């Protein structure tokens, strides 16, 4: 009987390339870290979402509640190696969405606090939207590598005898 071993805890770390493993851990840690303050302060995060002036008012609170939990679960899946094809695909979609929102506001001339890792706008370090764009661009390139690694590598199966 052929069985595919998947997941960080089930031995995939031995099969993955070192860079792919590092990409998973880095992206997973970034998504988990980004989710924590948003989960703890949903009203402040809703204000950050509102400042982007992209979503209709009816979707702001829903986004502020769902997005951080999605980031947390996605980060855990990336680190553990669970459902990697779906996790890397969602990672790409989220990062494209974040990049698109940043680009849209740069094009409109708005320089807002992104709310990416902290909802406390009083402790803003003076970072500009261009910095947020570059930082998220690096995360996107890392996710793109991981996405290509997960989807383009040859999948091998191991025969396990009972």
Do strands 158-159 and 2-3 pair parallel, antiparallel, or not at all (unpaired)? Answer: antiparallel
Amino acid 16: pLDDT: 53
Distances (CA, A) of 159 to 5, 7, 8, 9, 151: 10, 17, 19, 19, 22
What is the number of other CB atoms lying within 10 angstroms of the CB of residue 155? 8
- Domain ranges for the chain: 2-159
- For residue range 75-99, list pLDDT tens digits in order: 999 999 999 999 999 999 999 999 9
Between CA 135 and CA 4 the distance in angstroms is: 35
Is the pLDDT confidence value at 126 over 80? no
Check residues 53 and 72 and name the one with the higher pLDDT. Answer: 72
Check residues 54 and 11 and name the one with the higher pLDDT. Answer: 54
Rounded to two decimals, the pTM is 0.78
Determine contact, residues 102/136, Cβ cutoff 8 Å.
yes
- Using pLDDT thresholds of 50, 70 and 90, give the confidence band for residue 102: confident
What's the mean pLDDT in 10-15?
51
- Using pLDDT thresholds of 50, 70 and 90, give the confidence band for residue 127: low
Amino acid 11: pLDDT: 52
Percent of the chain with pLDDT over 90: 49
Q: What is the end-to-end Cα distance of the chain in Å, rounded?
A: 8
């Amino acid at each position: 009987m052929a069985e595919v071993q998947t997941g960080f805890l089930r031995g995939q770390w031995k099969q993955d390339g070192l860079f792919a493993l590092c990409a998973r851990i880095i992206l997973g840690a970034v998504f988990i870290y980004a989710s924590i303050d948003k989960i703890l302060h949903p009203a402040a995060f809703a204000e950050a979402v509102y400042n982007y002036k992209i979503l209709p008012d009816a979707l702001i609170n829903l986004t502020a509640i769902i997005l951080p939990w999605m980031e947390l679960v996605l980060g855990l899946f990336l680190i553990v190696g669970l459902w990697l094809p779906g996790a890397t695909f969602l990672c790409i979609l989220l990062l494209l969405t974040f990049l698109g929102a940043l680009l849209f506001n740069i094009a409109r001339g708005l320089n807002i606090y992104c709310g990416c890792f902290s909802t406390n706008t009083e402790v803003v370090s003076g970072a500009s939207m261009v910095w947020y764009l570059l930082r998220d661009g690096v995360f996107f390139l890392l996710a793109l590598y991981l996405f290509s690694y997960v989807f383009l590598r040859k999948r091998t199966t191991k025969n396990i005898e009972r």
